[in-house]
Amino acid sequence: MLELPPLSLYIHYPWCVKKCPYCDFNSHEGEDRDGYISALLADLDNDLSYVQGRSIHSIFIGGGTPSLMTEQDLSQLFNGLKSRLIFDDNIEITLETNPGTFEIEKFKAFKEIGINRLSVGVQSFNDKYLKSLGRIHNAQEAGKACTQAAKIFDNFNIDLMYGLQGQSTNECLADLNQAIKLNPTHISFYQLTIEPNTLFAKFPPTLPQEDDIYTMGEQGVKLLEQHGYTRYEVSAFGKKASKHNINYWEFGDYLGIGAGAHGKITLAKDSSMIRTLKSKAPKEYIQNRKKTTELIENPAFEFMLNALRLKQGFDKSLFSNRTGKSLSSIHDKLNKAKDLELLKQRGSKLIPTQKGFNFLNDLQALFL
């Protein structure tokens, strides 16, 4: 039986000091930001019917570089959110930040305003690779930002990339060891991929051989697990898992406000599910905040697409609770996944095997 799932909120802030050559997110250099916070709150007003009596489970403010917001803008945003929404007592509120000096100086203010989790976009502690990635901070600033984050926040994440141009396995592991020494509660460790419509797609860097990248990933996972970071999702390792991440992968609901923001909502009136998308161009968003909605036609596939990313799998009851469909509706596909040794059942849980996790795209494709 379908139940209304937990509700999160994603807020997109689309501006950066400089667009990175690998980035395919909706981010822009410069531009006039006046009126954006008011537009965000007006956008939320238009989506309030989707709340359907629920409190907010988690908030993630991403970008772009949302830490570029002034303290006044962030205060205006939070005052507006709190006047419109009910926050869970133990809500997780994450803000993405870069390690530049300007942002570091604002960490205490972020905490006082209500942020309780920081995500620091380090990517590497090696100046050579930071330069090749087009980052505007250096290794010293990265270390300083994480040290400061640890002093102010009980819960913070470090983003790290691997498979960088010219990178060796030892250099990859050196980055990870540096991150581990800084004692974050969470590390996002993910492979650099060349995405369409990026500068790297137009002028591709020469990346390490696939076998070498695979070795970096394998040895990186072992190192993280040896130091108490549990791999709970493909690229997420936590002494404390992110509630916001988990809600995505368990096919929860989330409001999406901001330029180009996506949302996913279950409608109690008829048990249907929709995706929402907001105007992408910041100037257009500020002026009119157009919203498009589309029906999720195949919730069973969408559920599996997300939940199979969870290393420890999911309880079988979650499938029917989140999709409104019986697990028997995908019985043949489950059996095929088991026969191919991509999926296993342990008690009431369905769990990707190590083979299934290594060939996740193949496993997910079985449920199309």
What percentage of the chain has pLDDT greater than the value 70? 99
The predicted structure's pLDDT at residue 97: 95
What percent of the chain is predicted at pLDDT more than 90? 92
CA 113 – CA 342 distance, rounded (Å): 45
Is residue 32 predicted with pLDDT exceeding 90? no
Q: Which span out of 104-108, 250-254, 356-360 was modeled with the highest average pLDDT?
A: 250-254
Answer positive or negative: Cα dihedral of 331, 335, 341, 347: positive
Delimiting residues of CATH 3.20.20.70 domain(s) in the chain: 7-248
Q: Please, what sign has the CA dihedral across residues 121, 187, 148, 76?
A: positive
Strands 343-346 and 349-352: antiparallel
Residue 60 · residue 11 · CB < 8 Å: yes
Q: How far apart are CA 345 and CA 331, in angstroms?
A: 13
> Quick one: average pLDDT of 158-164?
98
Q: Report the C-alpha gap between 77 and 70 in whole angstroms.
A: 11
Please choose, from the candidates 100, 22, 47, the residue with its C-alpha nearest in 3D space to the C-alpha of residue 253.
47
- CA 244 to CA 92: how far, in whole Å? 7
Secondary structure in 3-state letters for the chain:
CCCCCCEEEEEEECEECCCCCCCCCCCEECCCCCCHHHHHHHHHHHHHHHCCCCCEEEEEEEECCHHHCCHHHHHHHHHHHHHHCCEEEEEEEEEEECCCHHHHCCHHHHHHHCCCEEEEEEECCCHHHHHHCCCCCCHHHHHHHHHHHHHHCCCEEEEEEECCCCCCHHHHHHHHHHHHHCCCCEEEEEECCCCCCCHHHHCCCCCCCHHHHHHHHHHHHHHHHHCCCEEEECCEEECCCCHHHHHHHCCCEEEEECCCCEEEEECCCCCCEEEEEECCCHHHHHHHCCEEEEECCCHHHHHHHHHCCECCCEEHHHHHHHHCCCHHHHHHHHHHHHHCCCEEEECCEEEECHHHHHCHHHHHHCCC
Rounded CA-CA distance 181/319 in Å is: 39
pLDDT, residue 3, reads 84
Bridge partners of residue 314, in order along the sequence:
350
pLDDT in the model for residue 313: 96
Distance CA 232, CA 230 (A): 6
User: Hey, what CATH class is 7-248 in?
Assistant: alpha beta
What count of Cα atoms within 13 Å lies in the side-chain half-sphere of residue 97? 32
Average pLDDT over residues 215-227: 98
Distance in angstroms (rounded) separating the CA atoms of residues 120 and 288? 32
**Distance (Å, whole) CA 339 – CA 297:** 27
pLDDT recorded at residue 205: 92
Q: How far is Cα 303 from Cα 126, in angstroms, rounded to an integer?
A: 38
What pLDDT is recorded for position 354?
Answer: 94
**d(Cα 89, Cα 57) in Å, to the nearest integer?**
9
Tokens of 57: 């489970």
What pLDDT shows up at residue 31?
A: 72
pLDDT, position 87: 98
Tell me, what's the pLDDT at 2? 81
Q: What is the pLDDT of residue 104?
A: 84
pLDDT of residue 30: 77
The owner of tokens 């002026």 is 287
Question: pLDDT (tens digit, 9 = 90+) per residue, 264-288?
Answer: 999 999 999 999 999 999 999 999 9
